[in-house]
Amino acid sequence: MELNTLTAHELIDLLKTKEVTCDRIAASLETRIKGIDSKVKAYVRLDKQKEFKNSGAPKPGSSSLEGIPVSIKDNICTEGYNTECCSNILTGFKPPYDATVIRKLKDAGASILESKTNMDEFAFGSSTENSYFGPTHNPWNLDCVPGGSSGGSAAAVAADEAILALGSDTGGSIRQPASFCSVVGLKPTYGRVSRYGLIAFASSLDQIGPITKDVTDSALLMNVISGYDPFDSTSINVSVPNYRLSLGQDIKGIKIGIPREYFIEGLDREVKIILEEAIRELKNQGVHSQEVSLPHTEYAVPVYYIIATAEASSNLARFDGVQYGFRANEPTRANLIEMYKKTREEGFGEEAKRRIILGTFALSHGYYDAYYLRALKVRTLIKEDFDKVFKDFDCIITPTSPTPAFKIGERMEDPLKMYLSDIYTISSNLAGIPAISVPCGFTKAGLPVGLQILAKPFNEEILFKVAHAYEQRTAWHKMKPKI
């Protein structure tokens, strides 16, 4: 029995009966990483940091993850070891504190791998090709991207190089790679999981969430990381249910909306067929479905790329080579402004520069009202579209991505085509609602396809209920890539 292939809840059961030990789990995972990560490249800095650090016994009252390894995306702060957002400009940065989610994992007894998972620089991307450390490869086809920006986390879980992983989702960065890699990815409601210690991309959109092998593990990890945090001004003080109680329930009578705007030109034919089959499976379990409209969907991408880049421009202004990270060698003391310019020119990659420039333009005098303010107004309309549908429906079903994984390098010269990879995931970030992607099939070429389920704010329970019911009637989540 290869312990690295098991789910967290299976390992927890084995630990309880003392059939395995925490050390054996960690050793199995480390052997797997050393054996295949040279091909997948899910992790960064493996040559320097290789050990799992066990956090010890869980604190009383916490959800136990004692001895369960968790892999962490490179933009989530971990005290004392590198957190660089896969960017040259943060080279060598060691945070002096843990993100709240890391503290909660440690309180639950989880062990943390010091090597972080690969990502698009500062989460700017949909393919994990924009990393200072080079691209991650999709375990199902090493010539393809794993999605982004949490591609390292998704690839690690899919390749059994991780038991559990954390990612961040600003416009689909958990769900799209989950779809491309045939794993489960959840973007929680905005404010459900603390963002304290997440190095910000777009502060009104970012959320930390789980990437796991099945829905049960997703619920298990959400039980640990959810909850109010006074250190995060956007954290919402609402009660957190036990998400595992949502699993295994009958979904007969649940009403799902199928938005017509998500099944139009641009959706890959095979993806459409696979999604329709997934919807039929849900109907076989007694779910009622009906076509609905989200009329402002067509504006989601332009609205997102105004708001997100504007917030990124503001958030990344702090990285100037003065207090931490990379500093250009010349000039140093002669001219401070030149040092700032040279440091940012050499420290940021091309996509980061593109988004900083776009965001700075949108916020500039004379363009603020025309772009940023107008985008905020349309964002409200997009949220109101969802509010109207959720008055009559329990959840919404869509494809997670319009296409399966594409080849590495295929879209790097066409930023617009790359941005459209997130067309089905962006809206939920703009609206602040929860969404989950679960495996629902494969194309003829053997590439995974994901089913996305969306619900009203703070109703992750219905997502787990429907996703688990679908998962238990299919075998997609049990299939493994051959590397």
- Which among 277, 274, 282 has a CA at the least distance from the CA of 447? 274
Q: Is 168 a catalytic residue?
A: no
**Is residue 386 in a domain?**
no
Please calculate the CA angle 71-456-442 and round it to the nearest 5 degrees. Answer: 55
pLDDT at 332: 53
Considering only 55-59, 96-100, 168-172, which range has the smallest mean pLDDT?
55-59
The DSSP string of 32-92 is HHHHHHHHH--BSSTTT---EEE--SPPTTSPP-TT-EEEEBTTB--TTS---TT-GGGTT
**Is residue 28 in a domain?**
yes
Query: Per-residue pLDDT tens for 417-435?
Result: 888 888 999 999 999 999 9
**Is residue 454 in a domain?**
yes
Write down the catalytic residue from 126, 127, 149, 427.
149
The total number of structural domains that make up the chain: 1
- Dihedral through CA 146, CA 151, CA 153, CA 155, nearest 10? 10
Mean pLDDT of all residues belonging to the chain: 94
Q: Is 239 a catalytic residue?
A: no
Write down the catalytic residue from 73, 104, 213, 465.
73
- For residue 239, the enclosing domain spans 3-250+434-478
Query: Per-residue pLDDT tens for 10-22?
Result: 999 999 999 999 9
Whether 127 shows a pLDDT value over 70: the answer reads yes
pLDDT at 47: 60
Residue 23's CATH number: 3.90.1300.10
**Is residue 334 in a domain?**
no
**Is residue 142 in a domain?**
yes
- Which range has highest mean pLDDT (39-48, 340-349, 439-448)? 439-448
Q: Is 73 a catalytic residue?
A: yes
Query: Per-residue pLDDT tens for 287-318?
Result: 999 999 999 999 999 999 999 999 999 999 99
Separation CA 129–CA 135 (nearest Å): 4
**Is residue 327 in a domain?**
no
**Is residue 347 in a domain?**
no
Separation CA 215–CA 221 (nearest Å): 10
At position 296, the amino acid (one-letter code) is: H
Tokens representing 306 are 């105004």
Percentage, residues of the chain above pLDDT 70: 96
Separation CA 61–CA 406 (nearest Å): 44
The answer to whether the CB of 171 falls within 8 A of the CB of 217 is: no
Separation CA 88–CA 105 (nearest Å): 28
Whether 49 shows a pLDDT value over 60: the answer reads no
Separation CA 426–CA 261 (nearest Å): 14
Query: Per-residue pLDDT tens for 273-295?
Result: 999 999 999 999 999 999 999 99
At position 27, the amino acid (one-letter code) is: A
Write down the catalytic residue from 115, 126, 168, 173.
173
**Is residue 179 in a domain?**
yes
Tokens representing 272 are 């459409």
The answer to whether the CB of 250 falls within 8 A of the CB of 226 is: no
